[in-house]
Structures are given as structure tokens and as C-alpha cells.
Amino acid sequence: MRWVVFNQKGGVGKSTIVCNLAAIAAQRGAKTLVVDLDPQANASHYLLGAEAASASPNAADFFEQTLGFKLFKDGPREYLHPTRFDGLWVLPASTELEGLQSKLEQRYKMYKLRDALNDLKGFDSVWMDTPPALNFFTLSALIAAERCLIPFDCDDFSRRALYGLLDSVREVQADHNAKLRVAGVVVNQFQARARLPRRVVEELKQEGLPVLEPYLSSSVKVRESHEASKPLVHLMPSHKLTGEYLGLFDSLDGSRK
Ligand SMILES: Nc1ncnc2c1ncn2[C@@H]1O[C@H](COP(=O)(O)OP(=O)(O)OP(=O)(O)O)[C@@H](O)[C@H]1O
Ligand SMILES: [Mg+2]
């Protein structure tokens, strides 16, 4: 199954969610790939550590070759890097993605990622991290994906933005990718004791939005996990938040494929 984690808002947990769910998929025995499409390269750093900065070839090289006229193009596998976690691979991002964007857009290259993933055999589970914008790279990921997860940070402004986000997904579905489904809204940094987040999440459910459970708690361990470049299942297998991630993973339809 191919997953995209999408929310135009910055800092809602996209990269953390991609890496932790992908690490769980790999630990459960699925050959797993993380595709990092954000020039900030946070997911690449999380999974590769310091090596991420020099990872080559990377996603920018992949997109750049789609602009050329090479007769024999490299297959998608050439751009993948193994992590130190069994069964987990990364197509790393690079800051150079930013500079390529307008050229790729002008030349309608937004189907290239989907085509490359279609050609990539042997991976059971693919997780795409997107930048905090609905730009060329986010659109490429939405076109390549089968399931979309929307992280939600329990903020009232974000709640209103969710409807626009769902409309964007529907538009991509109608125009480019009939296979795309919204798997659900992932409630992140949930503070069970605070009244406002509880109320906001309840309202979402009442309005019929597909809110997934369990909710992910807020924990300082996330930062530690980033610093150690080790997803939570590896760093702290028995932590409460790890348990929530495992529960969320198991709740996802098709998470094993
Ligand atoms: N469950 C959590 N508990 C505490 N902090 C969290 C949690 N999830 C994410 N964070 C923190 O929130 C910040 C943003 O997380 P992350 O980078 O995953 O979000 P993002 O949506 O990918 O951001 P961007 O839009 O910039 O790519 C990070 O500092 C991260 O440590
Ligand atoms: Mg991110």
C-alpha cells in the first residue's frame, strides 16, 4: 500500500508520523520505503542521521532526470538508500528540490513519481512525506498514493482548514487519481487533560470526519527520538506513545500490505 501524509500546515507531525509508521511496517516484516519530498529533509535526517545531508543520488536527482532526454534512464531503485533498520529504505530529500519545482511544474512531471513507484518491484509499503504546502511535490505524492493520512494538531484554526484539505484531496482524486482514499485524520500531540483539544476532536467526529484512534499523545520523547535518529519502536518500544503508534498502525486498513 502507498501512503501519503498531507497537511499544508507546518509542524503538525507529518514527518514524525511517516517515519514512525514506516518503521513499524518494516519491523512487522514489510519491505518499506519512505519517500521524502520536503526540501527540509526532516524525514531523511530522522532515518539516516548525519548521512542524510550527503545522501546521493536523492529525490532531487530523481526529478532532475525526468527533465532530461537520457535514452536509458536509471530505474527508481538507484535512488534508494538503506537505513540501519531492517527492511526500511529511504528516497532522501535534498534542498535542491526547491529549485527544480517550477521547471517540473511547467513540464507536467507530476506523474513521474507514480510511474517510478509502479516500476519499483518488491516493496510492500511506501510512505510519502510532503512539505507544508500544496505544491508540485505534494501533488506528485497525492497522485502516487492510495491512502492519505491527515495529521491534526488539535488547534481550532487547523480544524477549519481541514475542510479545505479534504476538498484538495477530492480534487486530486477526481482529476488525477481515482484510487486515492482518505484513510483518516490522525490526532497528534493530544493532551487528554486539556478541555479545548477534547472538544475540538469531539466536534470533528460529530461532523462525520474519519478520526482515527488511538490519538497520539504529546511527549518529549519525540524530540529525543529525532535527535537519536531512531524511530520510537526502536528507541523506546514500551513507551506509551510507541504503544499509540502501534495501535494506530494496526487500525489502518491495508497497513500490512
Ligand atoms: N506526539 C508528539 N509529541 C511531542 N512533540 C511532537 C509530537 N509529534 C511531533 N512533535 C514535534 O512537533 C514538531 C513538528 O513535527 P514534524 O516535523 O513531524 O511536523 P511536520 O508536519 O512534518 O512539519 P513541517 O510541516 O515543517 O514538515 C517537531 O518539533 C516534533 O518534535
Ligand atoms: Mg515535515
- pLDDT tens for 43-69 read 999 999 999 999 999 999 999 999 987
Q: Which atom of ligand 1 is nearest to the CA of 223?
A: 31
Q: 158: alpha, beta or left, given left = phi > 0 and alpha = psi -120 to 50?
A: alpha
Q: What is the pLDDT of residue 157?
A: 85
Ligand nearest to the CA of 151: 1
* Nearest-5° Cα angle at 154, 153 to 156: 115
Strand order in the sheet with 2-5: 81-82, 88-91, 32-36, 125-129, 2-5, 147-152, 181-187
Residue 255 CA to ligand 2 center (angstroms) comes to 21
The residue nearest atom 2 of ligand 1, judged by CA position, is 218
Q: What is the pLDDT of residue 72?
A: 63
Count of Cβ atoms closer than 10 Å to residue 30 Cβ: 20
DSSP 132: S
CA–CA separation, 241 and 248 (whole Å) = 10
Name residues with Cβ closer than 5 Å to ligand 2, which is an ion: 14-15, 42
Ligand nearest to the CA of 8: 1
Residue 73 CA to ligand 1 center (angstroms) comes to 36
Q: What is the pLDDT of residue 149?
A: 98
Residue 14 CA to ligand 1 center (angstroms) comes to 7
Pocket of ligand 1 contains residue 222 by CB under 6 Å? yes
Read off the C-alpha cell for 181: 482514499
Residue percentage of the chain with pLDDT more than 90: 91
Q: What is the pLDDT of residue 254?
A: 67
pLDDT one-digit tens code per residue, 121-173: 999 999 999 999 999 999 999 999 999 999 999 988 888 899 999 999 999 99
Do the beta carbons of residue 8 and residue 148 sit within 8 Å? no
Distant-in-sequence contacts of 65-73, Cβ < 8 A, 24+ apart: 66/104, 66/109, 66/112, 67/100, 67/103, 67/104, 67/107, 67/109
Residue 115 CA to ligand 1 center (angstroms) comes to 30
Please report the DSSP string for 51-92 in residue order.
GGGG--S-HHHHHHHHTS--SSPPPGGGG-EE-SSTTEEEE-
Pocket of ligand 1 contains residue 42 by CB under 6 Å? yes
Averaged pLDDT for residues 218-222: 97
Q: What is the pLDDT of residue 132?
A: 97
Residue 217 CA to ligand 1 center (angstroms) comes to 12
Q: What is the pLDDT of residue 256?
A: 57
Nearest in space to 101 (alpha carbons), one of 130, 77, 74: 130
Ligand nearest to the CA of 19: 1
Q: What is the pLDDT of residue 255?
A: 61
Pocket of ligand 1 contains residue 77 by CB under 6 Å? no
Q: 136: alpha, beta or left, given left = phi > 0 and alpha = psi -120 to 50?
A: alpha
Pocket of ligand 1 contains residue 226 by CB under 6 Å? yes
CA–CA separation, 37 and 96 (whole Å) = 11
Q: What is the pLDDT of residue 163?
A: 93
The answer to whether residue 179 scores a pLDDT higher than 90 is yes
The answer to whether residue 3 scores a pLDDT higher than 80 is yes
CA–CA separation, 91 and 93 (whole Å) = 7
Residue 43 CA to ligand 1 center (angstroms) comes to 11
Ligand nearest to the CA of 13: 1
Pocket of ligand 1 contains residue 168 by CB under 6 Å? no
pLDDT one-digit tens code per residue, 64-121: 999 987 766 778 899 999 999 999 999 999 999 999 999 999 999 999 999 999 999 9
Do the beta carbons of residue 5 and residue 129 sit within 8 Å? yes
Q: What is the pLDDT of residue 25?
A: 97
CA–CA separation, 92 and 36 (whole Å) = 5
Do the beta carbons of residue 136 and residue 63 sit within 8 Å? no
